Structure 1
Amino acid sequence: MRVLIAVTHLLGAGHLTRAAAIGRAFAAAGHAVTLASGGDPAPIVRLDGLRHVQLPPLHVNGTAFTKLLGPDGQEAGADLLAARRARLRQALDEAAPDVVVTELFPFGRRALAAEYLDLVEAAAARRPRPLILASIRDVLVAPAKPEKVRIAHARIAALYDAVLVHGDPALLPLDASWPVDAGLRPKLRYTGYVNEASEPVEAGATRSGILVSAGSSAAGRDLCRAAADAARQRPDLGWRILAGNGIAQAAFDALGAELADGVLTRAVPNYRPLLARAAVSVSACGYNTAVDLLATRTPSVLVPFAAGAETEQSLRAEHLAARAIARVVPESALSASALIKAVEAASAEPAPDAHSIDLGGAKRTVAIVESIFAARGGTEWANRSPFDRLRAVLDDAGENGRAVSIWWRDDDAVAATPALDRLLALAESVAAPLLIAAIPAGVAPSLGARLSDCGRVSLAVHGLAHANHAAPGGKPSEFGADRTLLCAVADAAEGLRLARARLPADRLLPVFVPPWNRFAPDLAAALPALGYRGLSSVPAAAVPGLVRADVMLDPIDWRGTRSLVDPERLVDTLCRAITEEASGPIGLLTHHLAHDATIWDFLDALLALLARHPAVAIRDPRQLFQASAVDGVTPACWTRCADVPARIA
């Protein structure tokens, strides 16, 4: 693919840093990338592997984002803005992109709306039309006027194919900072956090000293001043203060007065290794700083930037503090004494525990865009993808008025784990309902707690203990023909009892999911009398008294590599099921605890394609199994479906 990324950083270099990291990930995957940058040149940002186009630069003073200043420090005039638009249009013509990405716009950079709209509308008029995407960080600052939100949503609906959210909803869903409505939600694609640094974190490094990072702009001057005062009062703590190049030299020299050599320096490009060896980090809470802290797990004190009613850093810092990843000193309370007290407290605590927050956002951004582009077709590269054949089959179904019903089941859940977090983040990223089959005898309290706010997730009964009772040499089964019917019925009854006792009542469906998808036919006939109203296995004969929804697509090569099965064969199976108009919804089966990176990447691509295609309806399990009710009462979870998008059947 040929990719054009347009970004303008106006204060710090965080937006450019993230856009460049994403561009380098595209380049590393073999795509040609043009990065059009409209902020001041930032030598600290890596641009290797990218074609860099520098627009006439703009910046702002403080947080006055509506007053754009040119290179001379004067307010940007019409000629400068016209020159930027012309250079951006020229970059579009030169790149002839397959994909156009606008960083932050239309959710922000409203003062530059004219040049961004000129770019996007020109791109939309090209033939073939490129994919048009918005790229945003985890937290946005919503405008005070609802009309501005409405305009941003209208622009997304009219001009954009998807919105890449570079965050992990397990830590910070977008709707924590921006009003996400039913029109915007289906276009969101969570990528995980973009981890800019390429250096591996040194394992077991000895930590010492206090590392203060004030960012790249002049906005970090107050933090530098408080840290310098703290270093004069407590030099024994071993301070190193990194001041951004945006701080004027005279102010920098004043900050360093009476400090020992090496305590105050300019920001350095190899910041990550320094952070990994620090006993405590002191910093603001910009996007890249937060990712650095998550990657190194350095005890930290956060002083989030809050001038000019900015809320982005404060919100991110609050969520990190809630996960015991950092301590927070509000900017309004910043002083040398407050900093010393917070640093001493952080020094006395152990390093933050391992977390499951997704830091693979750069590579996953590429995978998501590749899958959306493949679904659109149009190039030799896309034609080599098995997903292109799937797209063609789905297109044909849509053109002939056939809806393709898909549903999703995941097996073997027992507790909250990083793998479960990733599963839920994937489901959220594509707004897909999900049935999780939990093993009743192994369920821990953390499972129900983790799922408490996952509105699209339902639970089923995955046997009793997932124990193999097959005869020696036989295929594994817990409820197979090798057991007496009496024992199998007793265990099935106990599984339902434990599930009702240990799982949230408003999530649990009375649906039996036999481990290994194997069960004796006489057991199935006994399930309705035990209180079950649904059965999910592999396709088989109907059972009176039970609603069936079975699975047929399993991406794991269980008998071979235990990694991804041949994707060509898997996608061809799905294509045949669609072409042959399979009776009932087509079931996708996953096992989150057994997935490696290859399987996760495949699922990211497959579900992004399916969720986006207008011929596909991703079915809610609550609806699939709602034909009957337990004890004559329909559970609330079967009828509370207002949160399911209208595009989902």
Structure 2
Amino acid sequence: MSLRVLIAVTHLLGAGHLTRAAALARAFARKGHETTLVSGGSPARLADLETVTFVQLPPVRTVRTNFKTLLGEDLEPVDAAYLERRRTHLLDTLKTVRPDILITELFPFGRRVLADEFSALLDAARGSNPRPLVLCSIRDILVPSSKASRIAETHERVLRDYDAVLVHGDPALVPLEASWPSDERIAPLVRYTGYVDENEGPAPASRRHGIVVSGGSSAASLPLYRAAIAASREIADRPWRILIGRGVAEPDFLGVWESAPPHVVVERARPDFRALLAGAELSVSQAGYNTTVDLLRSGVRSVLVPFEVDHETEQRLRAERLTALGLADILPEADLSPQNLADAIRHGLTRAPSPSPSLSIDGARRSVAVAESLVRSRSALHRAIDWSPLDRALDRAKDGGCPIRFWWRDDDAVAETPQLDRLLGLARRYEAGIGLAVIPEGIEASLSARLAEEPNAVALVHGWRHANHAPSDDKKAEFGAHRPLDLVAAEAEQALHRARERLGSRLLPIFVPPWNRISPELVPHLPRLGFRGLSTFTDRKAVHPVMGLVQINTHVDPIDWHGTRSLIDPASIVASLARATERRVAGHADRDEPIGFLTHHLVHDDVIWSLCERLIAHLAARGIRFLCLDECFGMETRSHLRSNEI
């Protein structure tokens, strides 16, 4: 599959945004995609773009953090005619490239000053035939507007114009919601890619010596360079190297260079920065995105002086997360002085290096994989699904007198939402029974009211608060074997009481452990806690009945959880359903267990919704409907429901 890719980026202060976009462009090109990178910021030196086509718009920039005033090549404020030339050039590039994938860097989460330009691009893309897949590319940490209306406007723009949001970070370090107000409507569009590494390969092994000071590409790091020169006079027993970005004017660079003592080398930023960093005893830097990736790659001890002028919060948050992992010490910019910097460096030199955490830094390659998968999934919306393997299995079951039944479980409900309405509407349209695994601690009144309108929908108990209690190196579990049995039993009982209190007769006492994991020691205790059923995920090789407890699992999940978080290959879904049918025909231990279809309505994209409806419709055409849950779990549960209704 060879695609045409257009990436649009405008960097206004440093070159980090352009550097990251260029790394993405190279990654797409290396996979054989015809890639064009459009830059609207100041011309900057870039690593070899290889086969990427580069287009430079009439450039704009800002001074410090004044992002409302755009300056042109002459460093004077730009006028409407200048902006029109940019817009025309950008739209002409779109027409020439005719991309299959369009990526806007940062917008609409930022670059509001260029909203007209980006809006024109998106409008033109939306009017194209065929319309390209439209993606937003953002770093790990954003700076939201203080106005709720502007944040809401961003979310509406994402929902209207974008197919996915590529977050170039790892939620294990900092999730998006740590810096940007979450919105459940855009959550299904978010795809974490890991950090985008402009240099890719690992840092070279090197003997560690000396102190390396760096500050990114802009002039914002001049105070750090000057403080470092002064601090170096107090720490003269080690070599120093101060690398100054090309965004620093030549007179300022010369001023730092001329004031350096003999044991300090001052030079412009170098392409072998990572090798220098790998050989350092200590790094002193700000906490920009690309610097963070370099630190993660090299594992060097570091002192971070995050950029915080004009209430900037991005670097401070990133620095705090790195410090929490034991990877750095922070010196707040407000406290920056030669003495404080020298003290922080001395402390950093005595601190034992921390092992690098297992954070994803393969973001460029992963971004390409996500985009490719989304293109394939999108085409699958319009492509016929070959149901024949499932049909043949169902025919064999019918000929062999083996009734095959299906049931539907959907996880993580807590409130009425547009996604829940869509889910229940789909179930109602096909008269399908559905069990909503609800998280007891978070149940809102709107959920009870909504369920009252749906006779074929009931609630199940989905753990307590869907909180992970497993160690970081183990698979997630809330009711695993990681806590005392009496504690988890009491929590399960509390969950049942809370859910019953909030949902009344719409609740079935069926336990659904989060992440489908439960300690085997807890299972025999469920009946005395008030549960009448248990549901997890996967085929059971043997059935070990517990008196008073019916276990019915789910077996097929359409979501690619470890990849794109969109739809897995429909053929594999059909194959899984066929295998589950064949197991029952072959007389396995779970022969009488209904086949369970598992969904998660809050994270569905349009491709997943389409597959769900096509599957339900296909089964309905064969006279097969998803069971109501009281049918599914048998007489004991049905009797319990009726007793609640009396």
In the TM superposition, 1:45-124 aligns within 5 A as 45-124=47-126
1:272-328 deviation digits (Å, cap 9, x = unpaired): 111111110000101111111111111000010011221111111111111111100
Q: Tell me how far apart the structure 1 counterparts of residues 435 and 575 of structure 2 sit (CA, whole Å).
A: 15
SS for the counterpart of 1:186 is: helix
Work out whether residues 7 and 103 of structure 1, in 8 Å CA contact, stay in contact via their aligned partners in 2: yes
Q: Tell me how far apart the structure 1 counterparts of residues 151 and 316 of structure 2 sit (CA, whole Å).
A: 21
Q: Does residue 302 of the first structure (1) align with residue 320 of the second (2)?
A: no
SS for the counterpart of 1:56 is: coil
SS for the counterpart of 2:258 is: coil
In the TM superposition, 1:179-198 aligns within 5 A as 179-198=181-200
What residue in structure 1 maps to residue 225 of structure 2? Answer: 224
Q: Tell me how far apart the structure 2 counterparts of residues 293 and 434 of structure 1 sit (CA, whole Å).
A: 44
- Letter of the 1:43 partner, please give it: R
Q: Tell me how far apart the structure 2 counterparts of residues 378 and 446 of structure 1 sit (CA, whole Å).
A: 34
Work out whether residues 403 and 616 of structure 1, in 8 Å CA contact, stay in contact via their aligned partners in 2: no
Distance 1:615 1:446, change over 3 A: closer
- Letter of the 1:534 partner, please give it: L
Q: Tell me how far apart the structure 1 counterparts of residues 345 and 433 of structure 2 sit (CA, whole Å).
A: 55
- Letter of the 1:337 partner, please give it: Q
What residue in structure 1 maps to residue 255 of structure 2? Answer: 254
Residue 31 of structure 1 deviates from its aligned partner by 1.4
Residue 572 of structure 1 deviates from its aligned partner by 4.0
What residue in structure 1 maps to residue 618 of structure 2? Answer: none
In the TM superposition, 1:2-401 aligns within 5 A as 2-203=4-205, 205-259=206-260, 260=262, 263-377=265-379
- Letter of the 1:222 partner, please give it: P
Residue 49 of structure 1 deviates from its aligned partner by 2.7
Work out whether residues 166 and 361 of structure 1, in 8 Å CA contact, stay in contact via their aligned partners in 2: yes
Q: Tell me how far apart the structure 1 counterparts of residues 266 and 225 of structure 2 sit (CA, whole Å).
A: 9
Moved more, 225-234 or 305-314: 225-234
Q: 2:609 aligns with which of 586, 606, 613?
A: 613
Distance 1:45 1:305, change over 3 A: farther
SS for the counterpart of 1:357 is: coil
Residue 449 of structure 1 deviates from its aligned partner by 6.7
1:304-361 deviation digits (Å, cap 9, x = unpaired): 0011221111111111111111100011111111111111111111112231222121
Residue 199 of structure 1 deviates from its aligned partner by 3.5
Work out whether residues 461 and 511 of structure 1, in 8 Å CA contact, stay in contact via their aligned partners in 2: no
- Letter of the 2:238 partner, please give it: L
- Letter of the 2:115 partner, please give it: A
Q: Tell me how far apart the structure 2 counterparts of residues 578 and 82 of structure 1 sit (CA, whole Å).
A: 60
Q: Tell me how far apart the structure 1 counterparts of residues 50 and 434 of structure 2 sit (CA, whole Å).
A: 42
Residue 47 of structure 1 deviates from its aligned partner by 2.2
Residue 255 of structure 1 deviates from its aligned partner by 1.1
SS for the counterpart of 2:59 is: strand
Q: Tell me how far apart the structure 1 counterparts of residues 319 and 100 of structure 2 sit (CA, whole Å).
A: 37
Q: Tell me how far apart the structure 2 counterparts of residues 552 and 146 of structure 1 sit (CA, whole Å).
A: 40
SS for the counterpart of 1:4 is: strand
Q: Tell me how far apart the structure 2 counterparts of residues 17 and 385 of structure 1 sit (CA, whole Å).
A: 41
Residue 244 of structure 1 deviates from its aligned partner by 0.9
Work out whether residues 44 and 269 of structure 1, in 8 Å CA contact, stay in contact via their aligned partners in 2: no
Percent identity, aligned pairs only? 39
Residue 567 of structure 1 deviates from its aligned partner by 7.5
| Count of residue correspondences | 518
1:397-442 deviation digits (Å, cap 9, x = unpaired): 9899559999999xxxxxxxxxxxxxxxxxxxxxxx9989xxxxxx
What residue in structure 1 maps to residue 534 of structure 2? Answer: 534
1:34-85 deviation digits (Å, cap 9, x = unpaired): 1101111111444223111111111111111110000011001111101110
Q: Tell me how far apart the structure 1 counterparts of residues 349 and 461 of structure 2 sit (CA, whole Å).
A: 43
Residue 200 of structure 1 deviates from its aligned partner by 2.1
Which has the larger Rg? 2
- Letter of the 2:488 partner, please give it: R
SS for the counterpart of 1:263 is: strand
SS for the counterpart of 2:293 is: helix
Structure 1: gaps spanning 5 or more residues: 391-396, 410-432, 437-444, 465-494, 557-565, 589-606, 634-649
Distance 1:94 1:579, change over 3 A: farther
Distance 1:408 1:68, change over 3 A: same
Q: Tell me how far apart the structure 2 counterparts of residues 174 and 258 of structure 1 sit (CA, whole Å).
A: 42
SS for the counterpart of 2:237 is: helix
Q: Does residue 585 of the first structure (1) align with residue 566 of the second (2)?
A: no
Q: Tell me how far apart the structure 1 counterparts of residues 116 and 322 of structure 2 sit (CA, whole Å).
A: 36
What residue in structure 2 maps to residue 485 of structure 1? Answer: none
Q: 2:554 aligns with which of 542, 550, 554?
A: 550
The TM-score with structure 1 as length reference comes to: 0.69
SS for the counterpart of 1:39 is: coil
Residue 611 of structure 1 deviates from its aligned partner by 7.7
Q: Tell me how far apart the structure 1 counterparts of residues 101 and 326 of structure 2 sit (CA, whole Å).
A: 39
Work out whether residues 552 and 594 of structure 2, in 8 Å CA contact, stay in contact via their aligned partners in 1: no
Residue 459 of structure 1 deviates from its aligned partner by 3.9
SS for the counterpart of 1:136 is: strand
Work out whether residues 211 and 241 of structure 2, in 8 Å CA contact, stay in contact via their aligned partners in 1: yes
Residue 235 of structure 1 deviates from its aligned partner by 2.6
Work out whether residues 168 and 191 of structure 1, in 8 Å CA contact, stay in contact via their aligned partners in 2: yes
Work out whether residues 405 and 616 of structure 1, in 8 Å CA contact, stay in contact via their aligned partners in 2: no
SS for the counterpart of 2:334 is: helix
Q: Tell me how far apart the structure 2 counterparts of residues 526 and 446 of structure 1 sit (CA, whole Å).
A: 21
Work out whether residues 368 and 608 of structure 1, in 8 Å CA contact, stay in contact via their aligned partners in 2: no
Work out whether residues 9 and 39 of structure 1, in 8 Å CA contact, stay in contact via their aligned partners in 2: yes
1:159-210 deviation digits (Å, cap 9, x = unpaired): 111111111112111111111112222221111111221342234x311111
SS for the counterpart of 1:377 is: helix
SS for the counterpart of 1:298 is: coil
Q: Tell me how far apart the structure 1 counterparts of residues 54 and 264 of structure 2 sit (CA, whole Å).
A: 34
Residue 228 of structure 1 deviates from its aligned partner by 1.3
Work out whether residues 308 and 316 of structure 2, in 8 Å CA contact, stay in contact via their aligned partners in 1: yes
Distance 1:552 1:146, change over 3 A: closer
Q: Tell me how far apart the structure 2 counterparts of residues 335 and 94 of structure 1 sit (CA, whole Å).
A: 52
Moved more, 253-262 or 179-188: 253-262
Work out whether residues 462 and 512 of structure 2, in 8 Å CA contact, stay in contact via their aligned partners in 1: no
Q: Tell me how far apart the structure 2 counterparts of residues 528 and 501 of structure 1 sit (CA, whole Å).
A: 11
Work out whether residues 231 and 339 of structure 2, in 8 Å CA contact, stay in contact via their aligned partners in 1: yes
Distance 1:405 1:274, change over 3 A: farther
Work out whether residues 408 and 587 of structure 1, in 8 Å CA contact, stay in contact via their aligned partners in 2: no
- Letter of the 1:229 partner, please give it: A
- Letter of the 2:332 partner, please give it: P
Distance 1:375 1:406, change over 3 A: farther
What residue in structure 2 maps to residue 640 of structure 1? Answer: none
Structure 2: gaps spanning 5 or more residues: 391-424, 438-459, 497-509, 561-567, 583-592, 616-628, 642-646
Distance 1:169 1:219, change over 3 A: same
What CA RMSD, in Å, does the superposition of the two structures yield over aligned residues?
Answer: 4.7
Residue 585 of structure 1 deviates from its aligned partner by 3.1
SS for the counterpart of 2:36 is: strand
What residue in structure 1 maps to residue 586 of structure 2? Answer: none
The TM-score with structure 2 as length reference comes to: 0.69
